[in-house]
Chain A
Amino acid sequence: MIDFTKRLLKTPQGAIGIFLVVFVLLVVVFGPLVAPHDPEKLSPLARYKGPSLTYWLGTDQYGRDIFSRLLIGARATVVMAVLATIVGTLIGALIGTASAFLGGRADELIMRTIDAVMSIPSLLFALLVVNLLGSSTVNALVAVAIAFAPGMARITRSVALSVRKQDYVNAAVARGESAGYIIRREMLPNVIAPIIVEMTIRVSFAVMLFATLSFLGLGAQPPAAEWGLMVSEARRYMHLSAGILIWPSVAIAIVAVGFNLLGDGLRDALNPRA
């Protein structure tokens, strides 16, 4: 484990990724405690302010402190993205492993269905799901999870196919284990490494997908401090103060870049031969 961390920190991607992700997680956990202002307190006299000592990143169109809103919105944005990715990954991994294990006609049927679902762009697909279920944060989470599952299923299946040929799976089949046991206990633990790498990279997609959904008014609803929603609301006032738009965008970018780099670093660290 120590060896693994060492390898991860050795690559620049891994080191920067870890740094950014840890920073973001700190904000998620402690952000609301250290926020200097109430994120929803309107101050009509202090609208469109630039950065100052009282308002570190300035104020928005209602005079709310942007810095505090970012700190508090981190929970809604990052936690949602991570949750949605985990749910989507779990569904996808199960489908992919099962498909690889069953093989033959069942595999064909599952994978062609997945292909059909994947041919719809994930944003469109998420929009479709949210439209069907109604717009709310939970539904947005479900939408992103479902949109991610097919891609994860594909990746998992390709890894699981090579695991399927291993003798320990053959041994389990030969002693008459149930399909459920073989998929859960014999195969899934051995396909987990590439899935984790893919998952960290997908978190950044999820952040952006959530931001887009909120931006379109289909995710979090005002006055929530979700970052995508903040960008969306700021759009109309950006000619009065660019800061309202720039800071939440930067926050989204940091999360996306952080998880992406962490994913790259993990890929190198988990595969020491490369």
Chain B
Amino acid sequence: MTTTEHPSPDTPVLTIENYSLDYETTNGPFHALKNIDLAIHRGEILGLVGESGSGKTSLAWSIMRYLPKNAREPGGRILLGSDNLLEKAEREMETFRGRRISMVFQDPSTSLNPTLSLGKQLAEVLVRHRGLSWQQAWTEGEARLAHVGLKTPAQMMHRMPHEASGGEKQRVVIASAFACNPECIIFDEPTTALDVITSRQILDLFVELQAETGVASLYISHDLALVARTAGRVAVIKRGEIVEQGTTREIFTNPQQDYTRELINAVPDPSRRLVNDDVAPTDKPLVEVENVSVHFGRKPFLSALTGRKTERVTGNNAISLSISPGEILGIVGESGSGKSTLAKAMTGLNRFEGKIRFEGREIRNLGDMDNAYRKDVQIIFQHPDASLNPRQKIFEILSRPLKLFGDASDLERQVGDMLEQVRLPRTHANRYPHQLSGGEKQRVAIARAFASKPKLVICDEITSALDVSVQASVVELLLELQKASGTAYLFITHDLNLIRQIAHRIAVMYRGDLIEVVKASEIDSPDRAEYTRRLIEAVPRAAAQYQ
């Protein structure tokens, strides 16, 4: 149905030749992309892999010709078929976008207009680019939605974005990207904002549609494992330069560049355990969580007076688990499953019902959490940017727990020792958090948690905001600290591969309920609960495919 004829099959659909991109900043030009050479043929998926800041998304916007005002293009060509996109005027590009080239974004909740129904947004594409009437477009839209696997397309057309789930919304976005049978589609991390099981379904849909339509796809991701599942060829980008390109098999089995090797090794592989299974469940656990429930929302004033029962939002529903001294207990689950809520209840940030027993001492409410308990139970948060006060120097951040829990003598030396313990130079004490990289900041947060010599450290998704290579080194550091101090960890994550590497036992949570707690080695046995099995199946495992 495309209006342009396809040239001979060996001409690529999208060719990028020697393309460079600079951003003008107050500190001179910043080279975002350097001499990029890429080609995508019809029916091919090219995976573009790189860490944050490597220029992946800049390349996507260059192809779409939607660059900020301070962008400069010193050279190169971007060819779609035989048209050089760099020479096209904005008017011409408008007719290209959506019809010959389209894009699927990371987060469907922000890429759809919240004030228009899903049907309108889909039909608009068809009306604009294929010249259909509204009525034709609407019927065509329904057919398209059925095509992307939505059960009730007619109703879905009338729904607003907030009435659809994340997965459903991303299906609609994909439907509108494929709506005009474009020659090329750019997928910019299309599953990153989705839950594990949903993203698996979206990925399957993508592969299916791709095979059916033969569209040339550029699949951008930071996740090598994901790309390994979809792409035929992979390009690795580092600081604006393509360092290596090849078929997926070549890249995984025989990487040529050190950087690629690093990236592949950094991807967590569940078959490579990083801890010894020598922690036996003891009769005297360090912490016992008994029937802990968390509810959100205040009782409305009137119903408090009249004594009427009100429905409250449940964050945790009667959770019971225990952690032995020196054990690493992993908690996995999708977003909204109540993992962090439990962590916050255990550190006194949420009110809870039920009781927590810490070394035999009973804690029933926030008032029972005295200084000794807070000293022994520390928490590390997900985003190091948010958990370190931007207006305090590292010295002040690290000296606080010492003043509260330990001896405040010779702070300089102690803070320096703490920094060395997490492998940061002592001189970092004089810096502000914004002068450190993401990984360094997370190290400071780890040092802060270990300052009081705690018996339990709760790690709340501490690696998910970090790049894979940084993530690996942070995990290594945590395990080292654990060996040296014998601290128990409650490790919360949505990364099943990672947790299978480091945890002794794994707790699976779903919508506020604890599904089960099992030994890490037994998580993939067929006796597991149905949800656990689905979760395990949905997780892509890069290395396993090629070994």
CB distance from B463 to the nearest CB of A (A): 15
Q: Which of B388, B390, B404, B448 contacts A176 (CB 8 A)?
A: B404
Return chain B residues, CB-CB under 8 Å to A6: 26
Return chain B residues, CB-CB under 8 Å to A175: 374, 378, 400-401, 404-405, 452
For A185, give the chain B residue with the smallest CB separation: B392
For B374, give the chain A residue with the smallest CB separation: A176
Return chain A residues, CB-CB under 8 Å to B369: 176
Q: Are B298 and A104 in contact (CB under 8 A)?
A: yes
Q: Is B219 an interface residue (CB 8 A)?
A: no
Q: Is B435 an interface residue (CB 8 A)?
A: no
CB distance from B453 to the nearest CB of A (A): 13
CB distance from A9 to the nearest CB of B (A): 13
Quick one: CB contact mask for A174-197 with B, threshold 8 Å, 1 for yes? 111100000001100110000000
With contacts A176-B404, A177-B400 taken as known, whether A168 is within 8 angstroms of B348 at the C-beta atoms is no
Q: Is B381 an interface residue (CB 8 A)?
A: yes
Return chain A residues, CB-CB under 8 Å to B348: 173-174, 176
With contacts A3-B26, A186-B389 taken as known, whether A174 is within 8 angstroms of B400 at the C-beta atoms is no
Return chain A residues, CB-CB under 8 Å to B383: 167
Return chain B residues, CB-CB under 8 Å to A168: 386-389
Tell me the chain B residues, 391-410 only, with Cβ under 8 Å from chain A. Answer: 391-392, 396, 400-401, 404-405
Q: Are B387 and A190 in contact (CB under 8 A)?
A: no
CB distance from B406 to the nearest CB of A (A): 12
With contacts A104-B298, A175-B378 taken as known, whether A190 is within 8 angstroms of B349 at the C-beta atoms is no
For B346, give the chain A residue with the smallest CB separation: A174
- Complex CA distance for A39 and B389, rounded to whole angstroms: 52
Q: Is A5 an interface residue (CB 8 A)?
A: no
Q: Are A177 and B404 in contact (CB under 8 A)?
A: yes
CB distance from A161 to the nearest CB of B (A): 15
Return chain A residues, CB-CB under 8 Å to B392: 185-186, 189
Q: Are B378 and A170 in contact (CB under 8 A)?
A: no
- Complex CA distance for A168 and B448, rounded to whole angstroms: 11
Q: Are B404 and A171 in contact (CB under 8 A)?
A: no
Q: Which of B298, B386, B452 contacts A167 (CB 8 A)?
A: B386
- Complex CA distance for A114 and B136, rounded to whole angstroms: 58
Q: Are B391 and A174 in contact (CB under 8 A)?
A: no
- Complex CA distance for A3 and B26, rounded to whole angstroms: 9
For B347, give the chain A residue with the smallest CB separation: A174
CB distance from A90 to the nearest CB of B (A): 17
Q: Is A166 an interface residue (CB 8 A)?
A: yes
- Complex CA distance for A96 and B237, rounded to whole angstroms: 48
Q: Is B276 an interface residue (CB 8 A)?
A: no
User: On chain B, which size bracket covers the interface?
Assistant: 20 to 34
CB distance from A112 to the nearest CB of B (A): 13
Q: How many residues of A contact B (CB 8 A)?
A: 18
Quick one: CB contact mask for B347-372 with A, threshold 8 Å, 1 for yes? 11100000000000000000001010
Q: Are A190 and B381 in contact (CB under 8 A)?
A: no
- Complex CA distance for A190 and B347, rounded to whole angstroms: 24
Q: Are A174 and B349 in contact (CB under 8 A)?
A: yes
With contacts A174-B348, A174-B349, A177-B404 taken as known, whether A190 is within 8 angstroms of B386 at the C-beta atoms is no
- Complex CA distance for A176 and B405, rounded to whole angstroms: 10
- Complex CA distance for A172 and B347, rounded to whole angstroms: 11
CB distance from A56 to the nearest CB of B (A): 44
Q: Which of B344, B374, B391 contacts A189 (CB 8 A)?
A: B391
CB distance from A195 to the nearest CB of B (A): 13
Tell me the chain A residues, 132-183 only, with Cβ under 8 Å from chain B. Answer: 166-168, 170-177
- Complex CA distance for A185 and B404, rounded to whole angstroms: 15
Q: Is B235 an interface residue (CB 8 A)?
A: no
With contacts A3-B26, A175-B404 taken as known, whether A170 is within 8 angstroms of B390 at the C-beta atoms is no
Q: Is B379 an interface residue (CB 8 A)?
A: yes
Return chain A residues, CB-CB under 8 Å to B448: 171
- Complex CA distance for A37 and B492, rounded to whole angstroms: 76
For A6, give the chain B residue with the smallest CB separation: B26
Return chain B residues, CB-CB under 8 Å to A3: 26
Q: Are A167 and B381 in contact (CB under 8 A)?
A: yes
Q: Are A173 and B404 in contact (CB under 8 A)?
A: no
CB distance from A48 to the nearest CB of B (A): 56
For B348, give the chain A residue with the smallest CB separation: A174
CB distance from B385 to the nearest CB of A (A): 9
Return chain A residues, CB-CB under 8 Å to B379: 170-171, 174
Return chain A residues, CB-CB under 8 Å to B349: 170, 173-174
CB distance from A271 to the nearest CB of B (A): 15
CB distance from A253 to the nearest CB of B (A): 35
- Complex CA distance for A3 and B298, rounded to whole angstroms: 46
- Complex CA distance for A168 and B349, rounded to whole angstroms: 12
Q: Are A170 and B26 in contact (CB under 8 A)?
A: no
- Complex CA distance for A269 and B382, rounded to whole angstroms: 30
Return chain A residues, CB-CB under 8 Å to B401: 175
CB distance from A240 to the nearest CB of B (A): 57
- Complex CA distance for A164 and B382, rounded to whole angstroms: 17
Quick one: CB contact mask for A28-52 with B, threshold 8 Å, 1 for yes? 0000000000000000000000000
CB distance from B444 to the nearest CB of A (A): 11
- Complex CA distance for A177 and B399, rounded to whole angstroms: 13
- Complex CA distance for A190 and B378, rounded to whole angstroms: 24
- Complex CA distance for A190 and B388, rounded to whole angstroms: 12
- Complex CA distance for A179 and B74, rounded to whole angstroms: 55
Which one of A104, A166, A173, A174 has the highest number of Cβ atoms from chain B below 10 Å of its Cβ?
Answer: A174
With contacts A171-B379, A174-B374 taken as known, whether A189 is within 8 angstroms of B389 at the C-beta atoms is yes
CB distance from A251 to the nearest CB of B (A): 37
Return chain A residues, CB-CB under 8 Å to B382: 167
- Complex CA distance for A152 and B374, rounded to whole angstroms: 35
Return chain B residues, CB-CB under 8 Å to A190: 389-391
Return chain A residues, CB-CB under 8 Å to B387: 166-168, 170-171
For A181, give the chain B residue with the smallest CB separation: B400
Which one of A166, A171, A173, A185 has the highest number of Cβ atoms from chain B below 10 Å of its Cβ?
Answer: A171
CB distance from A69 to the nearest CB of B (A): 44
- Complex CA distance for A3 and B405, rounded to whole angstroms: 40
- Would you give 8 A-B contacts (Cβ < 8 Å), ordered by A? A167-B387, A168-B387, A168-B389, A170-B387, A174-B348, A175-B405, A175-B452, A190-B391
Beyond A170-B387, A173-B348, A175-B378, list 13 extra A-B contacts (CB 8 Å): A3-B26, A166-B386, A167-B387, A170-B344, A170-B379, A172-B400, A173-B349, A174-B379, A175-B374, A175-B452, A176-B404, A185-B392, A186-B389
Closest 5 CB pairs of A and B: A189-B391, A167-B387, A167-B381, A176-B374, A167-B386
B-binding residues in A (CB < 8 A): 3, 6, 104, 166-168, 170-177, 185-186, 189-190
